[in-house]
Chains A and B, each alone.
Chain A
Amino acid sequence: DTGVSQDPRHKITKRGQNVTFRCDPISEHNRLYWYRQTLGQGPEFLTYFQNEAQLEKSRLLSDRFSAERPKGSFSTLEIQRTEQGDSAMYLCASSPRPRTGRGIYNQPQHFGDGTRLSIL
């Protein structure tokens, strides 16, 4: 299977602990996104990488959140000093470059199954 994979699928931890999630995108995709989703809401953008460069980070993201994509392949998302409000599904998505030709076709993002984080 060559889809986006995320690890772990579930994480339960106590408030105040640090957690780290991993995402392996589809191999030929150079763009990687992290989102957070809570029940009944659409995904909320967290950050975006093009190859190894982190090009955008949500203003809503506190300094407790950090993401890396050191070699332009897999990525990690770390949350330090977790809080109750961090409980959510964390989704990773990847996409290839837009196709050009007759205009620009922006490629869809393909999502992993997510990591469900529960803070006790």
Chain B
Amino acid sequence: GQNIDQPTEMTATEGAIVQINCTYQTSGFNGLFWYQQHAGEAPTFLSYNVLDGLEEKGRFSSFLSRSKGYSYLLLKELQMKDSASYLCAVMDSNYQLIWGAGTKLIIKP
């Protein structure tokens, strides 16, 4: 079966750094996406990795290791507005997105 695992909840302090991990087992791989979702709102696109390595975009970076079936999202200089759920999604061999359940990130002052 296809499976995406990420922690249910994480807590971090304003101004700090947090790493959200995602491991996956899917039938085929055509890229991994990270989305941010605030409560009651739609997911918004953050990053896309299809090759191994680190993609940096401002305060957010995403890393991929295809051989390990592993990705992480790194958030630096945390702000209160970063409190949200972070969803990991893998595009499988049929070009469909398989979604994790999301990691709820709580930022404390």
In the assembled complex, A91 has its CB within 8 A of some CB on chain B: yes
Nearest residue in A to B47 (C-beta to C-beta)?
A108
7 further contact pairs, Cβ within 8 A, besides A43-B97, A109-B33: A42-B4, A42-B100, A42-B102, A44-B99, A105-B50, A106-B30, A108-B33
Contact present for A112 and B97 (CB under 8 Å): no
Nearest residue in B to A91 (C-beta to C-beta)?
B42
Task: Give the number of chain A interface residues (Cβ < 8 Å).
Answer: 21
**What is the predominant secondary structure among interface residues of chain B facing chain A?**
loop
In the assembled complex, A45 has its CB within 8 A of some CB on chain B: yes
Contact present for B44 and A41 (CB under 8 Å): no
Please judge, given known A-B contacts A106-B91, A109-B45, A111-B44, whether A48 and B96 are in contact too, CB under 8 Å: yes
Could you tell me which B residues sit within 8 Å of A by CB distance? 4, 8, 30-31, 33, 41-45, 48, 50, 87, 89, 91, 94-97, 99-102
Contact present for B43 and A45 (CB under 8 Å): no
Chain B residues within 8 Å of A52, by CB:
none
Contact present for B97 and A109 (CB under 8 Å): yes
A113 and B37 alpha carbons, distance in the complex (Å): 11
B34 to chain A, nearest CB (A): 10
Chain B residues within 8 Å of A56, by CB:
94, 96
Shortest 3 CB-CB distances between A and B: which pairs? A42-B99, A111-B42, A108-B45
Chain A residues within 8 Å of B97, by CB:
33, 43, 45, 109
A45 and B96 alpha carbons, distance in the complex (Å): 8
A9 to chain B, nearest CB (A): 10
Please judge, given known A-B contacts A40-B102, A45-B97, whether A110 and B87 are in contact too, CB under 8 Å: no
